[in-house]
Chains A and B, each alone.
Chain A
């Protein structure tokens, strides 16, 4: 089944403790992206990747890191999480870049709470 898989689904952590949220897609998609979703603010893009070893900042990259060493994986890293990073996170992928009209396929989200 074609899908985007995020892990974990739920995560509670403390301020400053490094964490990684994994994202994997099995559709051989070139484009991958991370979003956070907050009430009243909607989905905001954190980072995106056009292909292996090619990443770029989205609208809210501060406090986050990503890597794209393999085509299928795009982990989101929080080196020193803070409470304002408490949010619902989504990974998404598409066959081509957004400029090619490709629709996004989303994972089921990771709900992160930082205390």
Chain B
């Protein structure tokens, strides 16, 4: 069965630095991959989507890469701010299936 692996340990970085979060998956390549942000006590909020034929996607300070050879996506936040502190979830859809499967998320703490 498919597995999605995100670093379950919290990531602490200094304000202004670039945060890099990792999402690895096993077996089949997904049709697309999404990243969501979740704040405590709130529902996840969609950030970015990258398709299997795309290598990189950007939105303001966010950048996502997708390497189907490594079976990995990297999520970068440049010039990080304390307001970026949250849990970030990776989610995959495997083409033809009507479901989105989520990783357990990585908690990011940006220290002022």
Residue ranges of A at the interface with B (Cβ–Cβ < 8 Å): 4, 31, 33, 35, 40-45, 48, 50, 56, 58-59, 90, 92, 97-99, 101, 103-109
B residues less than 8 Å from A48 (CB atoms): 98-99
A residues less than 8 Å from B34 (CB atoms): 103-104
Which of A40, A50, A56, A103 is the most central at the interface, judged by chain B CB atoms within 10 Å of its CB? A103
Task: Tell me the nearest residue of chain A to B105, going by C-beta.
Answer: A42
Is A108 touching B46 in the complex (CB atoms < 8 A)?
no
Say if the beta carbon of B112 comes within 8 Å of chain A.
no
Chain B 51-95, CB within 8 Å of chain A: the 1/0 string? 100000000000000000000000000000000000001010101
Task: Tell me the nearest residue of chain A to B31, going by C-beta.
Answer: A99
CA distance A70 to B99 in the complex (A): 21
B residues less than 8 Å from A56 (CB atoms): 98
A residues less than 8 Å from B51 (CB atoms): 101
Q: A4-B43, A31-B98, A99-B98 are in contact. List 13 more A-B contacts (CB 8 A).
A: A40-B8, A42-B104, A45-B101, A48-B99, A56-B98, A99-B31, A101-B49, A104-B100, A106-B44, A106-B45, A108-B41, A108-B42, A108-B43
Is B43 touching A92 in the complex (CB atoms < 8 A)?
yes
